[in-house]
Amino acid sequence: MIQKQWLKNGLFIVCIAAIVVSATVVFSIAKQDTDTYEGLRLFSDVISEIENNYVEPVETKELIEKAIQGMVSGLDPHSSFLPPEAFDDLQSETKGEFGGIGIVITMRDNRLTVISPIEGTPAYKAGVQAQDIIIKVDGKTTKGMMLWEAVKKMRGDPGTPVDISIFRKGETEIIELTLVRAVIPLESVRYLTLKPGYGYLWVTNFRENTMDEVKNALDALKKEDTPLKGLILDLRDNPGGLLDQAVKVSDVFLDGGTIVSIRGRDDQTGEEYKATPGSEAGEYPIVLLINGGSASASEIVAGALQDNHRALVLGTTSFGKGSVQTVRPLKDGYALKYTIARYYTPSGRSIQAEGIIPDLVVKRRMLDERAGDGFDANLIKEGDLENHLAGDDEMEAIDEMIEDAVEKPEAADKDETADEMTEAERLIRLRDAVYDHSSSDSNALLLDSQVNRAYEILRGYEIFQGMSGKSSGK
């Protein structure tokens, strides 16, 4: 009897608890619905007020589009509302066939800022650098322009010209460039033999066939007269690309272990990519090069090889784009691009706004010239792109520098000899020397301080191995 009464009371308590929980959930949902309704009503009031009383007639559709753009772009630098023409351009870029000048850009404090130039493109050959601010495109200011609008202005039919005006910190004048648009090259891998037994593999981006190109390059390096004893894997200024290719390229060099994991809003759910056993690329040491222009997919590869102790990472801290975006098509040709997850390296590190920190920090410079601070000492990082306004002093200082440069189109007199080139000129010289790789370019490539240090490490490793073998044989 007591047991039945206890059971009855227990059931009663459970029912009451369930009712309370249900009521709490319903109240929470109702509150959310109320907040949403109130917000939409406020939005409607603002639209109505502007339509009726603004000094000039406005299109309701245009107002709504701009409101959505502001809402989405306020989430993070990589989320955006895409009108039909911007969505079409994005699809063309994914296929890898479009005419342009070859730069990866972002909006930083309403300024069109270069993350990195793409190897082999008109912008790359003209010496466009990371952190350059593009202030005009064909004479039209880019300040306050939507990112997709700026991209659209610089894209076009191959062979057609586009004028860009660049502000570069440290320069006394605006840099005016006329670039001829070209098809952005599909080739993403270049290679050569630096010295007998030491290969150099340059991955410029991650496209549909990058893994196949990497395998072909490794096969060619292995067929040289001297067996491959060490590899330099160059991911500098690699802006990223396709996730699946980053995973596959990592898998080429790994014989097991985690490559990368993806976690969404709920950290308990996500996806993990693992290497498959049977890799033949574990027979030689690897030095992997990164810098502030290495982003997204290239950071996945760097993190995977670093955390699995497969490569020594050398250079400067990478960009830090550790987020995953998806594109959701909407009606009437519109689309929504937004962030859904973050990347994590095998050890559980999030690279978002942190980047991959190299095992050895080595700044880039030309060894036959005065050192300076290196080319990539101040590259823009993902951490610079957080959604907040810069301090007034900083904004005013940059504005003043741009205005001064615009007002002084003629450069100040320079007492400069042929042996005293600017950092930009030395960088262009270095790029020209290594762009068309062939066996005769290896000496020029070794003038790059980061490549040279990587080679020295690999050569030193071989020497120490020889010493160890002789010591153990005694």
| Catalytic site includes residue 31 | no
Q: Which residues contact 97 (CB under 8 A, 6 or more apart)?
A: 183, 186
Could you tell me which residue, 282 or 129, shows the higher pLDDT?
129
**Measuring CA to CA, which residue among 402, 18, 457, 12 is closest to residue 198?**
457
Per-residue pLDDT, 371: 41
Per-residue pLDDT, 414: 42
pLDDT at 387 over 60: no
Could you tell me which residue, 324 or 181, shows the higher pLDDT?
181
pLDDT at 65 over 80: yes
pLDDT at 409 over 80: no
DSSP assignment letter at 277: S
Could you tell me which residue, 453 or 397, shows the higher pLDDT?
453
Per-residue pLDDT, 349: 93
CATH of region 98-183: 2.30.42.10
Which H helix or E strand runs over 107?
A: strand 103-108
Per-residue pLDDT, 110: 74
- Sheet of 286-290: strands edge to edge? 189-195, 198-203, 230-234, 286-290, 312-315, 360-361
| Catalytic site includes residue 332 | no
Question: What are the pLDDT digits (tens) for 411-469?
Answer: 444 444 444 555 555 555 555 554 444 334 688 888 899 999 999 999 999 998 888 66
| Catalytic site includes residue 225 | no
Catalytic residue among 321, 323, 337, 376: 321
d(CA 131, CA 35): 41
Mean pLDDT of 223-229: 90
Catalytic residue among 307, 337, 381, 448: 307
pLDDT at 250 over 50: yes
Per-residue pLDDT, 7: 44
Please, which pLDDT band fits residue 232 given cuts at 50, 70 and 90? very high
Cβ–Cβ under 8 Å, residues 105 and 151: yes
Cβ–Cβ under 8 Å, residues 175 and 209: no
**Measuring CA to CA, which residue among 240, 413, 440, 214 is closest to residue 320?**
240
Mean pLDDT of 112-140: 88
Per-residue pLDDT, 149: 86
SS (H, E, C) 34-102: HHHHHHHHHHHHHHHHHHHHCCCCCCHHHHHHHHHHHHHHCCCCCCEEECHHHHHHHHHHHHCCCEECC
Q: Report phi then psi at 394, rounded to 5.
A: -65, -45
d(CA 168, CA 114): 11
Average pLDDT, rounded, for the chain: 81
Question: What are the pLDDT digits (tens) for 331-353?
Answer: 999 999 999 899 999 999 998 88
pLDDT at 265 over 50: yes
Mean pLDDT of 284-297: 93
The answer for 164, left when phi > 0, alpha when psi is -120 to 50, beta otherwise, is beta
> 335-344 and 258-263 as β-strands: parallel, antiparallel, unpaired?
antiparallel
Q: Report phi then psi at 371, rounded to 5.
A: -70, -50
Question: 260-269: b or e for each residue (b if 16 or more CB lie within 10 Å)?
Answer: bbbbeeeeee
Q: Which two tokens stand for residue 119?
A: 């190897």
Task: Give the count of beta carbons closer than 10 Å to the beta carbon of residue 362.
Answer: 19
Q: Report phi then psi at 141, rounded to 5.
A: -65, 145
CATH of region 189-380+440-465: 3.90.226.10
- Average the pLDDT over each of 178-182, 393-397, 469-473 and give the range with the smallest value: 469-473
Per-residue pLDDT, 12: 46
Catalytic residue among 80, 294, 296, 318: 296
Mean pLDDT of 389-406: 64
Mean pLDDT of 115-120: 79
Could you tell me which residue, 275 or 385, shows the higher pLDDT?
275
The SS3 call for residue 458 is helix
pLDDT at 251 over 70: yes
Task: Give the count of beta carbons closer than 10 Å to the beta carbon of residue 271.
Answer: 11
Q: Which residues contact 274 (CB under 8 A, 6 or more apart)?
A: 256, 257, 258, 259
Task: Parse the chain into domains and list their residue ranges.
Answer: 98-183, 189-380+440-465
**Measuring CA to CA, which residue among 82, 128, 74 is closest to residue 105?**
128
Could you tell me which residue, 413 or 383, shows the higher pLDDT?
383
Per-residue pLDDT, 413: 43
Could you tell me which residue, 23 or 328, shows the higher pLDDT?
328
Longest dimension (CA), the chain: 106
Percent of the chain whose pLDDT exceeds 70: 74
